[in-house]
Amino acid sequence: MEHADGLADLEHDHADLNERVLAVAAQVRALGRQPDADALARVAAEMDELREEIFVHFAREEEGLFAYVTVHMVGFEDDVAALIGAHDAVCGAISRMLRSLRVDGPDRGNELLLAVLDRLEVAYAAHARAERDLLGRLAGSMSADQRAALAAHVRGL
């Protein structure tokens, strides 16, 4: 749903992603110690969808929010750099999980998968907190015109 407020759009996107990450984590944990190939394939398909949603969300942030903030706001450079690093950690964990689901197979169990899931959950939670903090600080610093300009900048990404 598009709002006239780019910050609200990104907060809404993140709420949906939070639910999706929790759902996929539950599916991974439900695989058991020796999952079969069909179960791994189903979870891999869910992970593919999550990866795409996260990649699109992160692209909107990096190409939209971060690009706008870097040009139009002062004092947020360290926050933006930290969030870009968090994006890389989340994307790396998801990519590693997908490889484990597709390549390692059921005969290796899912101990590695669970270990990487733990990394994903920690990285995603840290990212979500840092993003929420940044959005809150921005909300207190941006005028209505700036928020509308951000929404226009993010729209279409």
**CATH number of residue 23's parent domain:** 1.20.120
Query: Which H, E and C letters describe 82-129, residue by residue?
Result: HHHHHHHHHHHHHHHHHHHHHHHCHHHCCHHHHHHHHHHHHHHHHHHH
Phi, psi of 35, deg, nearest 5: -70, 150
**Of 29, 72, 20, residue with least CA distance to 48:** 20
Give percent of the chain above pLDDT 70: 87
Q: Would you say residue 99 lies in a domain?
A: yes
Whether residue 13 is predicted with pLDDT greater than 70 in this model: the reply is no
Report yes or no on 1 lying in a domain: no
pLDDT tens, position by position, 47-93: 999 999 999 889 889 998 999 999 999 999 999 999 999 999 999 99
Full-model pTM = 0.85
Q: What is the pLDDT of residue 157?
A: 66
Residue 124 falls within a domain, yes or no? yes
With respect to residue 139, please indicate whether it lies within any of the assigned structural domains: yes
- Does any domain span residue 149? yes
Arithmetic mean of pLDDT over the chain: 86
Number of folded domains in the chain?
1
The contacts of residue 37 (CB under 8 Å, 6+ apart) are 105, 106
Q: Which domain holds residue 130?
A: 6-154
Confidence of residue 3 (pLDDT cuts 50, 70, 90): very low
Tokens at 76, concatenated: 């947020």
Dihedrals phi, psi of 23, to nearest 5 degrees:
-65, -45
Model pLDDT, residue 109? 60
- Read off the pLDDT band of 104 (50, 70, 90): confident
